[in-house]
Amino acid sequence: MNRKFRYKWMYGWLGVVLLVWTVGISNVQAYPVSNDPLRVKQTYLDDIHMDEGWAQAGDNDEPVIVAVVDTGVDLTHPDLEGRLVPGANLLNPQEKPQDDNGHGTNVAGIIAAKMNNDKGIAGIAPNAKIMPIKALEADGTGGETKLGEGIRYAVDHGAKIVVLSLGLNKYSSFMAGTVRYAEERGVLLVAASGNEGGSVKYPAAYPTVLGVGGMTSARLADDRSNYGPDLDLVAPWHVYTTAKGGGYESKEGTSMAAPQVAGAAALLWGRAPYLEPWQLRELIKQTAEDLESPGWDATTGFGLLRVDRLMKEPLLSDRFEPNDDSGHAPMLPVHTLIHAEFSSGKDTDWFTMDSPYDGFVKLVLKTSDASPVSIRYFRDNKEAEEVFTTDPQNPVVTLPVQKGKSKIAASLLDPGKAGAVLYTLQTDFQIYQDDFEDNDHQYKATSLPARSQTVKGTFHQENDQDWFMISFKKSGTLRLKTSVDTARIDPVVLIQKKGEKSTTFDQFGEGATEATPLMNVTPGDYYIRISNVKDNTQPVMGEYTLSVDYTPKLIDPNEPNNKPYQATTLTLHEDHPGVIESASDLDWFQFRLEQESLVQLKLGSLQRGCDITFTLYDHTLKELDSKSSEGSAENLVLDRRLPAGLYYIKLQSDRAATQQMYQLNAAAQPLVAGFSDIHGHWAEKAIADLASRHVIDGDGSYKFYPDLPITRAQAAVMLANGFRLDKNRPVDYPDLSSSHWAYDSIARTTMAGYMDGYEDGHFRPDQPLTRMEMTQVIANTMQMAGKYRGRSPFLDVSDRYWGVGILKQMSGDGWIRGFPDGTYRPDDQATRAEFAALLSRFSNVFGRKR
């Protein structure tokens, strides 16, 4: 078959760099569209435009070996027949790398299942050969040692691409060296980001490894796909692929997304074997379809894998252009490696960085001709800037960054330089040093107050561990909890009382919360160490949160009071704190009433979850009343009318209630004539007199409300009762129905001539009585006509006032007095106490005469 390639080359510092290639499609026989019977189930191939990609590729490309470092591969699968090259079983070198899990077979089929063989599915790269390397156990688990061996084996035995649908949460110098080994020998590494919805796993997180996340059918990052500054791109999350045992199955995850990128890379490399791994990475990112936020973002990277674009678009010398000003600054991950170009000394390249935390970004910028570079750094889009200069002897710049976005602008130091200059820019983020450093050793432990609190820290440097010390003055209980925001941290908690053995808590794994049981502490110094798991000593991009929950042991000031004869005496109206130390602990109290009183017993500040019972007894220990909290923290309140005497209270709980002190309060309001609000009142005797004669009665509230205004209806009732009026006749007031509660009393007082309606015919029963009306009503009971000689006895009552005659007579006869300032305030509202006082005097004198 005839293939015609026309190349355009540019020579740079890394050798020959291919910038543009085109294919003469008219004379090229492309790979045919797949007619495999199960191709219809491979909808993910449509998402990445695989048919168009095959059309661009041609079918006589160079074979490319793709190593699958995994659980092995089904070596007899009919759809992988002829697609395998010898591999290795690193777990048992005497055996073949046969898949005993199925995961590796899933990965291999996505890449290289035979096309158009009237069987199953179609792999992405018809030119790919699979090198099966078994490095994982049958349950899919494995360690970095076998993973590293697998990568090195693949590199040393001719693989051009290594796909790693697996990952570890920790950074490893050993693995970083293995990744560098592959890069230096021209081998491309492609790895899955992970499926936990957290930080990208290693090796996907290393800058020279293509880190691949997963995309849903809705063209969004799957919520379970790991994300962050290490993510490069995404591919479909759901696939249909080869299965162990010769069959096929649906699978999902970033493990299935990564081999799609590896297959696409193999397809491209077969067509353009001269590309370097970094060029392949750049082109894959360059041709990705942007998703979600414009440009790179933490959840989809540079976008969705597009095989059609990958196979036909030229590799650009600078895929970020145009980025010559701040308004066109593309997103640059804080942990990545890019290749770009200064078109001349006047070209400025702007980038935006979005830092996940406060910290530092280390920039390593190298130019192809060793030209020095100026880097300007802008925080928060402010004009204030910092300027740094790099050169071959010192290509590193460290920028202090805050969480959020900042910008950099890079340009050649010599603005007059002509011609293009290629450069690489590598970024590496280092999290901030927490506020408690330097506390990496026990003798440097940071002192914390002896109380409940929350502490946030970081592991910002190698072998970082954080020591704290709390000096407890009181015994109590303590619980420690350490949570993390990334699976790259596997927290370990150590606690030790000074002079005693330490205890370590490491029950759970990476990304999980470690919590101690509830521990008893006694006075003394306690040391706490928070560290990452022992074999993970590298700096981590993430934070931990230490929660200290300390409850001092509460001392009950009332003990011993477990028996009635030990009962603590309550001072009325004062709070009495206490503690119920166990289910068998009984707290007894006593109080004495000198006279009949309305008593309110209140038990507050209760511990939620405890069923606390509150029981009242008389002096013979006869139970009078009881209430239970039933696990609630609501106050228990008991209101009782009690005669004078001695009383007991017993408190008990179904369990210890030692986390907070309860508050017991006994309040007593002495009852006078059955009322709790007249004791000591100036009208006490008058009100008590009326109550004793049943002129007034309580309403169940034990209150008379002496200082409230008295209504005309209330006054009528008191008059009728006070003067024992028993004759009545129907009355006809528009605003008074026969069903009104005071109708009968109003009818009696009206017939007696004591009260009457207003000129408009209304009685207004619920209207307050004025002081003048009150005086007039009482005068009516004695049929007083009033006196008109002499001067007004009150400063605020003129001789023209309508009631001045009655006031003169009542004052002259000594029935009424004014206020100390000489006023009577006749139009003010009369109070219930004022009316009761007048009525008591008049009804005792005149009522009895009648």
Residues annotated as catalytic are 70, 103, 255
> For the stretch 706-738, what's the b/e string if a residue is b when 16 or more beta carbons lie within 10 angstroms of its beta carbon?
beebbbbbbbbbbbbbbbebeebeebebeebee
Residue with tokens 């109206």: 573
Long-range CB contacts for residues 799-807, cutoff 8 Å, separation at least 24: 801/826, 803/772, 803/775, 803/776, 806/775, 806/776, 806/779, 807/772, 807/775
Within 10 Å of residue 819's Cβ, how many Cβ atoms? Answer: 12
Count CB-CB contacts under 10 A for residue 542: 21
Contact of 15 with 279, CB cutoff 8 Å: no
CA distance 128 to 130: 7
The CA distance from 459 to 465, in Å, is: 7
727: tokens are: 């004759």
Dmax (CA) for the chain in angstroms is 141
- The rounded distance, in Å, linking the Cα atoms of 817 and 805 is 15
Beta bridge partners of 714: none
Beta strands in 533-596 (DSSP E): 544-552, 568-569, 575-580, 587-593
Amino acid at 705: Y
Contact (Cβ atoms closer than 8 angstroms) between residue 844 and residue 689: yes
Interatomic CA distance for residues 402 and 115, integer angstroms: 51
The contacts of residue 413 (CB under 8 Å, 6+ apart) are: 371, 372, 373, 374, 389
User: Which amino acid belongs to residue 660?
Assistant: Q
Q: Where are the beta strands (DSSP E) in 265-390?
A: 336-342, 348-355, 359-367, 373-379, 385-390
Contact 18, 315 (CB under 8 A): yes
The secondary structure of residue 620, as a DSSP letter, is T
d(CA 850, CA 846): 6
Which amino acid, 419?
Answer: G
- Secondary structure E strands in 76-194: 88-89, 128-134, 161-164, 188-192
CB 577 within 8 A of CB 662: yes
Q: In DSSP terms, which residues pair with 616 in a beta bridge?
A: 625, 649
Strand-pair category, 465-472 with 524-532:
antiparallel
CA distance 11 to 34: 39
Check if the beta carbon of residue 593 is closer than 8 Å to that of residue 647: yes
Contacts of residue 793, Cβ cutoff 8 Å, sequence gap at least 6: 807, 808, 811, 812, 818, 824
Q: Which two tokens stand for residue 75?
A: 């070596």
Can you name the residues that pair with 664 across neighbouring β-strands?
576, 603
- Go through the chain and tell me how many residues it has: 850
Listing DSSP states for 399-418 in one string gives EEE-SEEEEEEEEES-TT--
Instruction: Of 135, 143, 73, give the one whose Cα is nearest residue 103.
Output: 73
Amino acid making up residue 84: L
Say if residue 203 is preceded by a cis peptide, omega within 30 of 0: yes
Q: How far apart (Å, rounded) are the C-alpha atoms in residues 515 and 546?
A: 10
Q: Beta strand pairing status for 233-236 and 15-23? A: unpaired
